[in-house]
Structure 1
Amino acid sequence: MADTVLRSNQHNKALHALVLFGLVLLMQRAGATDYKVGGAKGWSVPNDPNAPSYNQWAEGERFRIGDSLLFVYPSDKDSVLQVNMDDYTNCNTASPIATFTDGKTVFKFSQSGAHYFISGNKDNCVKNEKMHIIVMADRSNQSSKSNQTMTSPPPPPSEMSTPPSPPPSGSLDIVPAPAPVGEESPSPPAPPPSGASSIFLSVIGSFGAFVGSSLLLVL
């Protein structure tokens, strides 16, 4: 009985995991788009002059990161090359970024910007079997980064950049200006006499006046 219950629980867990995995795949697929290049004709040399070119078709779509291109072509006669802009312009098949020859190539966009594709057959490329696609940037990530930048508080001011406070009023030291070259600084004035010196001089003066008066009377 216990083994039966254990097996039932394991079966339920496995089933739940499988359902969850399927939901994740569906969510990923819902956010991405698959584009078949060339529609029913597939990846081939354009023969109808009235039909839109690959670039005209690409300009009417909005490609995003995660979207995929499906190239369908005969693998024994054609191929797909991912190239840079110069090789795209000149139909240079000698140095591609990537080469696909399986006949049913799926190319998934992993980054934004320009992507260039040409036929591996140079004659086909010259006949306009080539395509230039622009993948849009992920605006949601850029918006979140911009919001974080705008809402982040400014950094605290540096202690070194704070100007020193001026000294309080009345506390400035007055430094006398130096004397001109070749001239001596004037001597400081003599200090005034003290009170004891003044009394002594007064007594001496009085005594001198008394002696002088006595000498006059004697004479």
Structure 2
Amino acid sequence: MAKLIIAFVGVLSLLLLIQDSRAYQFMVGGTGDWSLASTSYNQWAEQSLFNYEEGKDSVIQVTKDDYDNCNPASPIAMYSDGHSLVKFQRSGPHYFISGLIQNCKNNQKIVMVVMADRTHRSPPPYTSPAPDAGQGQDQDSPPPPPLAPSIQDYNPNAAAISIVMSFTYSIVAFVGSSLVF
């Protein structure tokens, strides 16, 4: 019986380690290339990898200020292989411009906003309804519960800590249950 419990706890610990992660590749420029377009790239960025002719153009990741001014002087990252795959490590806006300043000034630039995964949020805590005013209570009512954190309080690095802690607790639970039985 003890071996069955240990096996169950082991399997349960392994199941706790499973994390859901998804990655998508968006072809910037659609089936065409990263080249001058008649419309802004920002209009279809959500539907659409940087493809361009190697040696004739490049893609530069920049800050918002450098994006607004088409300034490639202080790049965050540079891509020039003609088939550039960008791996996003954080949520939020990411700014890209053409390596050719004139192309950038002709709107060959794009902002990609990466959204954090919010599919596993817990529901808000249950609060009991306030008593009717006609019940004649003379006591002061308790203060309301604190508000839930706002979107500005969200820290994307907390998700990485959560994964590490999940793994650590699972190992500790497995080792602890092995010692007990």
TM-score, normalization by structure 1: 0.45
Shift of 1:110: 2.0
For 1:36, which of 17, 24, 27 is the aligned residue?
27
Matched, 1:55 2:34: no
Shift of 1:42: 1.3
Letter in 2 for 1:38: G
For 2:77, the equivalent position in structure 1 comes to: 98
Structural RMSD (CA): 2.4
- Higher RCO by CA contacts (8 Å cutoff, separation 6 or greater): 2
Aligned residues: 108
Q: Which protein is bigger by CA-based radius of gyration? A: 1
For 1:109, the equivalent position in structure 2 comes to: 88
Matched, 1:127 2:106: yes
Q: Tell me, what secondary structure is at the counterpart of 2:81? A: coil
For 1:137, the equivalent position in structure 2 comes to: 116
Letter in 2 for 1:99: M
- CA separation in 1, counterparts of 2:57 and 2:111? 18
Shift of 1:109: 1.9
Deviations 1:53-73 (A, max 9, x none): 210112x54xxxxxxx81111
For 1:82, the equivalent position in structure 2 comes to: 61
Q: Tell me, what secondary structure is at the counterpart of 1:107? A: coil
For 2:36, the equivalent position in structure 1 comes to: 45
Shift of 1:117: 0.3
- CA separation in 1, counterparts of 2:82 and 2:113? 24
The structure carrying a bigger helix percent of its residues is: 1
Identity between Structure 1 and Structure 2 (%) = 50
- CA separation in 2, counterparts of 1:40 and 1:53? 16
- CA separation in 2, counterparts of 1:125 and 1:43? 11
5+ residue gaps, structure 1, are: 1-26, 62-68, 152-219
Q: Runs in 1 of length 4+ with deviation above 2 angstroms?
A: none
TM-score, normalization by structure 2: 0.53
